[in-house]
Amino acid sequence: MKGPPRSAMRLGARAAVLVAIATGAWLSFDWLHDYRTDREADTYADRMIAMSGLMGITDFHQRVDGVRAFINDNSDHKIDAKFRANQGNPAAFASSVLAYAEGRGEPAHMECATRSSLMARILGALGYETRRIAIFDSHRDKQSLFVLKGSHSFLDVLNPLTHQWETQDPDYDIYWRRKRDGARVSVVDAADNLNEIEPCGRTACGWQHVSREGIRAKNLANLLDIISVTDKDSGLRFSVYTSRTNLDQVYTKGTERGVFCEVEAKRCRHGFFSAKDYGAKRPLGQ
């Protein structure tokens, strides 16, 4: 049996080359767009640092608290059409925050993830290491992982003096501390014993804290079952579960169903640790 004519083979080869070129061009354009957006967001972050006077503050806690307060003051927790129009564009959110801080427009419409991402960007520009934290309620029936009030996200920042992680939450406008000595902590280390820690706002500490937007800190108690850590600098992704966690809880994510590490395998890539064992078994570098 004869094969296809050489002319047809040449046409097929040329078509494949054209497809490859078009795909490469599309990927290059996409990468260039993301790169430009990222750099633009960095520029806005630098301007926010300059206008807020953060470079003149030397105390670590005053600095990070200042960043958290700046973002919270110049944005509103709103998931609406305006928020969705900027979704996936960090420069758009940063621009909106900066514009309102400069007296233009209205507060940026943001939520926990976008507020935390902007805070991480500003802290990175100040030279601090951060990692992303997500927390999940393990006791909601037929729970979808990211349903309203079923999850929340914020960040940890590495204290350069103690070399310990400390949690900052620009959405709830809080940080966390141990009750017995007032030392700031990361919820990754301390969430198994909620009676020993408390959230702190700008003027007071306690589970009764309510942000200026009416967001109640006590809402977090049910979410501190599974704590997921994403450290982009080191590439580490792992999760910690507390003694309150229902490990048999079945979650839904898109078309997938299963226990946490089945539907969120990437969050368990480098381990799924009991909070009681985490101190001894934490991944290298954490």
Query: Strand 272-274 relative to strand 236-241: parallel, antiparallel, unpaired?
Result: parallel
CA atoms within 13 A on the CB side of 198: 13
Handedness of CA 185, 186, 192, 195 (dihedral sign): positive
- 32-52 pLDDT, tens digit each: 557 788 999 999 999 999 999
For residues 218 and 208, membership in a common domain is answered with: yes
Domain boundary residue, one of 128, 149, 171? 128
pLDDT at 130: 98
- pTM for the predicted model, two decimal places: 0.86
Domain boundary residue, one of 68, 95, 128? 128
Range of the domain at 104: 10-128
Taking the C-alpha atoms of residue 82 and residue 63, their distance in angstroms, rounded to an integer, is 30
Domains in the chain, number: 2
For residues 94 and 137, membership in a common domain is answered with: no
For residues 101 and 163, membership in a common domain is answered with: no
- 178-217 pLDDT, tens digit each: 999 999 999 999 999 999 999 999 999 999 999 999 999 9
The mean pLDDT value for 250-267 works out to 91
- 2-33 pLDDT, tens digit each: 556 656 556 555 655 555 555 555 445 455 55
pLDDT at 29: 46
Residue 46 lies in a domain: yes
